[in-house]
Amino acid sequence: IIEKACKNAPNFSIHYKKLQRSVAISGRSQSTLTNYSRCLAQMALYLQCDLLDLDDDAILDYLHHLKRKHQTPSDSFFKHTVYGLRYLFRLYDKASSNVILPSIARPKKYPVVLSGQEVKALLIPPALLRHRLIIGLLYGCGLRNHELCKLKITDLDLERQMLHVREGKGRKDRYVPLCPMLVRGIKNYLEAEHPVEHLFNGKSRTGEYVAMSALGVQWAIREARRLSGIKKKVTAHCLRHTYATHLLEMGVDIVTLKELLGHAHIETTMEYLHVARLGRSSAFSPL
C-alpha cells in the first residue's frame, strides 16, 4: 500500500522519503516507519490529496471514519494514524498550526500471566527440542520475540550461565541469567542441530541461513498452546509477562527486574506489582 500511495497519491513519495530519513537518523525502529507509513498511505489514497494540504475538518472527518470502522479509538490503526500525522507535521514544522489531533488514552489492561503448572504444560507437547527451547528462553529469560530471533551463538556464555541480549528495545544491551536446565537444553540443541550464526535459523528464498522469523516463533507457541489445552491467550509477550510476575513473587526487587527486562522507566516495571501476589497483605477472596 505504501508503494501504491507513492505512485498515486499527491506528493506522498516525497513525504515517505522524508519519513524514512528522519526515522533512520533518529534511530527509531523500522516497525515505527512501517506502521506510520502504512496508515498515512491509506489516508492519502482514501482522500486523494496531499496530507499537508488537509484542513482540520478533513482530518477530523477521516479520523471519525476510522473510529466507526475500527469501533474504538484505541485501535492500533487509529493510533498509528494519529501518531503518524503528528510525526509528519513535526517534520514540516506544522506543529504550531491549528491542526488539533486527539489525545489517545492508553487502555488500563493487565497482562495475561500463566501459572507455574501452565508453563510446564506448555513445555511438554512440542516434539522438537528447538520449539521447547524457544518457549523455555522466552519464559526463562523474559525475552521479547524479536530479541529471541536475533540471538546469535556468540551471545551465549554457557560457562557463566549468562545470555547477552543485544540491541533490545531502545537499542539497549543487557545480560540475563540462564538456568542450568536451559544450559543443558542449549548444549543438546547445538550438538544436534548445528545452527549457523543465529541460535535459531530460518532459510531465505535463495536457500541461505537467516535468523528465524517472528512468525515462526508465534507458530511454535500457538501449537504448544493448542496441544497443551491451555485456554488463556498465550503469546511471546505473555511468557515475558509471566517471567516478570514470577520473579517478583519469588522475591526479586523491582529495580533488578527493571534491568532484567530492559525497561527504560521504572514505572513500566511497576505495572507488574498489580499482577504479582506479594507479601502477607496479598488480596484474597472472602468466599
Q: Which of 80, 132, 144, 258 is catalytic?
A: 144
Residue written as cell 491451555? Answer: 230
DSSP conformation class of 160:
T
Q: Which of 16, 62, 87, 272 is catalytic?
A: 272
Q: Which of 198, 241, 246, 263 is catalytic?
A: 263
Instruction: Identify the sign of the CA torsion 231, 235, 239, 240.
Output: negative
Q: Which of 222, 237, 274, 277 is catalytic?
A: 237
Q: Which of 17, 120, 169, 184 is catalytic?
A: 169
Q: Which of 130, 131, 132, 240 is catalytic?
A: 240
Give the containing element (helix H, strand E) for 211. strand 209-211
Is 187 annotated as catalytic? Answer: no
d(CA 256, CA 240): 15
User: Reduced to 3 states, what is the DSSP secondary structure of residue 177?
Assistant: strand
d(CA 269, CA 257): 7
Give the containing element (helix H, strand E) for 223. helix 214-228
Is 263 annotated as catalytic? Answer: yes
User: Reduced to 3 states, what is the DSSP secondary structure of residue 164?
Assistant: strand
Query: What positions carry a catalytic annotation?
Result: 144, 169, 237, 240, 263, 272
